[in-house]
Each structure stands twice: as C-alpha cells, then as structure tokens.
Amino acid sequence: MSEMTYRDALNLALKEEMRRDPSVVVWGEDVALYEGSFKVTRGLLSEFGEERVKDTPISENTIVGVAVGAAMGGLRPVAELMTVNFALLAMDQIVNHMAKIRYMFGGQTFLPMTVRMPGGGGSQLAAQHSQSLESYFMHCPGLKVAYPAFPADAKGLLKTAIRDNNPVIFLEHELLYNSKGEVPEDPEFLVPFGQANVMREGTDVTIVAYARMTVLALQAAEELAKDGVSCEVIDLRTLTPLDSATLIASARKTGRAVVVEECWRSAGLGGDIAHRIHEACFDTLLAPVKRVAGLDVPMPYSREIEKLCIPRPETIVAAVKEALDGR
C-alpha cells in the first residue's frame, strides 16, 4: 500500500492496464501532449506512444463514436471527455449506440469501452460546467456507471471497467482529484462492480452516499457521534449495477435512512434509492426515508451562493436529526 492522490490512482490504473493489454488505447481532448485537463493521463504518451494515446478534435460525439467502432473492432478504448457537461453533445452515441449495440446484435459483438468524465460542482465554474448528470446514464439500460469516492476505489474500479466487455460510464468528481488515500500496489487489484462498501458501521441511522457525498457523509457522521448518534455510512461505488442488498440490510438494521446525492432532487437517483428502501423495509422503518440533494437550480457562479446549492455536512446532519425525530 502507498499513499497517493485520487488523480494518481487513476493514472496508475491506466498505465497498469495499458502495460497488461496492448488493445487498451486512450484518446480525448488534450489527453496526449497536454496530459489531460486534470493531468490524469500524465506520462501516457511518452510511455505508450501516439498510436495508443491520441489527442482528438473538439467533438464529443466523434470521440465516443470512434470509441464505439474501435471497441467493436477489437480494441479496448478509454475515451476521456473533458467534463461530463459535454457528454450532452455525445448522447446520441452514448444512448443509441454505445448502450444498445451489443443487444441489437444479439450478443454477437462485445463493446469493451470506458468513457471517463469529470464532473460535479463546487469549483465556481457556473451553470454549464458544474452539473451532476449521473442519473441520465443510470436511466439508460446497457450502461454500467461507476463513481468512486476514494483513491483505492478509483484505481480498482477503473481497472475493472477497462476489463469489462460492456460499456462503462466512469465518473470522477473534480474536487476529489487532490484527495489522498492508501492504494494497493498490486497490479491485479480490482474492485468489483455492484458491491457497496460499508465505510462506517452504526446502529441509529443509515446514510447512503456516493462520490464526494460519501466524504461529506463521513464528516457528518463524525459530528453526529459527538452527540451520541451512531451512523452507518454506505458508499455505493457503482450506481449501475446498484447494490440494493447492502443498503436494504443496513436500513433494516438501523430503522432509518438518509440518502445523499449531489445531483438535482427532481428525478434524481436518490428518489429511486429511497423507494427501494421504503419498498423493502416498510415494516421495519421507524421514520420516512430522508433525501439530501442539490437544489433544483442552475449552478450559480458566486462562490457563496454555490455553497448553498450543494449538500454540506451540516445539511446531512440536519436530515439525520429529522429522521431521528421521526419526521
């Protein structure tokens, strides 16, 4: 184990998989010479050359479309979109082709491709560059969706995504790139999809979160512990497949649940998760399932107003206290 940043863990995963499998290729805007907008592809061009690491035109639809064709042709492309906000320009390729080709060909072809996308708010990048669009991809059958919160999971999940024969949307929160944690050095270290991680065990309330919200949920749990409240914190790690069994078992144990998401509340994935808990745990719940989500507004540029639009540890604490009060 060695300590490294979330960014470096992703970089290590790419290097290990490219060394292991010559069919793994990387392309996207500024991933080669500039080494990526967030420096995740640092050193790839110098080690693997321009045949496997390519800068592309500024065309997200083209980046994903070419990756679809390359995956059908036997490569394992890892396509980087500069930000998840620009994925909207590639939604035809993502929804109509990437997600469906294996099904429409009756399983006669594989689509082993990964699309990496940084996203999330909190960087004062305003409405068009601060969105959390994970529920868009979860809504589309045929796509796997991973969203790691910690460096070790960033490495292990990305390696699993690259080795998967199905298309994977791999999301990365921009505010996590500099976060640090212990990461296994084993090049065969993989984190399986569909297995949530119980980050903290507790008895009074279950907090379900993912990505940066897991970090905030753990902070909230620490604060609540000072008041004698025992929180169980679950990090989903992958959104599709979703590990319903783990979060349902936890909610049955504690009798209360709070679901935390950064995306907009309306039609957000938190509503789906809350319903799964409610449906499976109706007889054991001691209070309604609470939701903490981003506000249903375009993200403002102002730093102080932006903070009000994104869940914070104190908003999670407030939701937990409401659940404890049965409200």
Q: How far is CA 39 from CA 10, 31, 164, 184, in A?
A: 10, 8, 24, 21
Q: How confident is the model at residue 1 (pLDDT cuts 50, 70, 90)?
A: confident
How far is C-alpha 231 from the geometric centre of its chain's CA atoms?
22
Q: Residue-wise over 145-156: b if at least 16 C-beta within 10 A, else e?
A: bbbbbbbbbbbb
Q: What percent of the chain has pLDDT over 90?
A: 99
Residues 6 or more apart whose CB falls under 8 angstroms from that of 66 comprise 27, 56, 77, 79
CATH of domain 197-324: 3.40.50.920
List the chain domain ranges. 2-183, 197-324
197-324 and 2-183 share a CATH fold: yes
**pLDDT computed for residue 27 by the predictor:** 95
* Interatomic CA distance for residues 44 and 52, integer angstroms: 9
Q: How confident is the model at residue 191 (pLDDT cuts 50, 70, 90)?
A: very high
Cα angle: 131, vertex 316, 204; to 5 degrees: 140
**pLDDT computed for residue 68 by the predictor:** 98
Supply the mean pLDDT for the chain: 97
Q: Tell whether the model's pLDDT for residue 327 goes beyond 80.
A: no
Q: What percent of the chain has pLDDT over 70?
A: 100
CATH of domain 2-183: 3.40.50.970
* Interatomic CA distance for residues 183 and 251, integer angstroms: 29
Q: Which residues are catalytic?
A: 60, 129
Per residue in 120-143, pLDDT (tens digit) is 999 999 999 999 999 999 999 999
Per residue in 159-190, pLDDT (tens digit) is 999 999 999 999 999 999 999 999 999 999 99
* Interatomic CA distance for residues 101 and 309, integer angstroms: 38
Q: What is the DSSP letter of 31?
A: S
Q: How confident is the model at residue 309 (pLDDT cuts 50, 70, 90)?
A: very high
**pLDDT computed for residue 326 by the predictor:** 80
Residues 6 or more apart whose CB falls under 8 angstroms from that of 69 comprise none
Per residue in 12-21, pLDDT (tens digit) is 999 999 999 9
Per residue in 48-74, pLDDT (tens digit) is 999 999 999 999 999 999 999 999 999
Residue type, 143: L
